[in-house]
Amino acid sequence: RLRSAPVTIRFVTNTTKESKRDLLERLRGLGFDIAENEIFTSLTAARNLLEQKHVRPLLLVDDKALPDFTGIGTDDPNAVVVGLAPEHFHYEMMNRAFR
């Protein structure tokens, strides 16, 4: 019914553990009829903000989430993006983020 209604459909999630593409494949595998542009994640919001502010982030996100930041410059970071990535939360990386 929603698809025939005059509304925009979005699937919204706060996950930071996987890319939009991986999430799309998982949802389609569960039988959802969904397009990639209908998914909005916290990573989508983070990327939009990075592009608006023209900053270069240190990405403390799960490796599976990195594809959502393709094309974003990360050399000489002047911002930090934090997601659920326990493997990256160690002294060396945290020290780098704080600096």
Q: What is the C-alpha separation between 84 and 61, in angstroms, rounded?
A: 6
Assess whether pLDDT exceeds 90 at residue 2. no
Q: State how far the Cα of 82 lies from the Cα of 85, in Å rounded to an integer.
A: 8
Taking residues 23-40, report their average pLDDT.
94
Tell me, what's the pLDDT at 3? 84
Among candidates 62, 53, 57, 52, which has minimal Cα distance to 73?
57
Residue spans of the domains in the chain: they are: 11-98
Q: Answer whether CATH 3.40.50.1000 is correct for domain 11-98.
A: yes
Query: Is the per-residue pLDDT at 29 higher than 90?
Result: yes
Contacts of 77 (CB under 8 A, 6+ apart): 56, 57, 58
The whole-number pLDDT of residue 45 equals 97
Q: What is the pLDDT of residues 38-92, one digit of tens each?
A: 999 999 999 999 999 999 999 999 999 999 999 999 999 999 999 999 898 899 9
Comparing CA positions, the residue from 18, 14, 12 lying closest to residue 69 is 18
What integer pLDDT is reported at residue 1 of this predicted model? 84
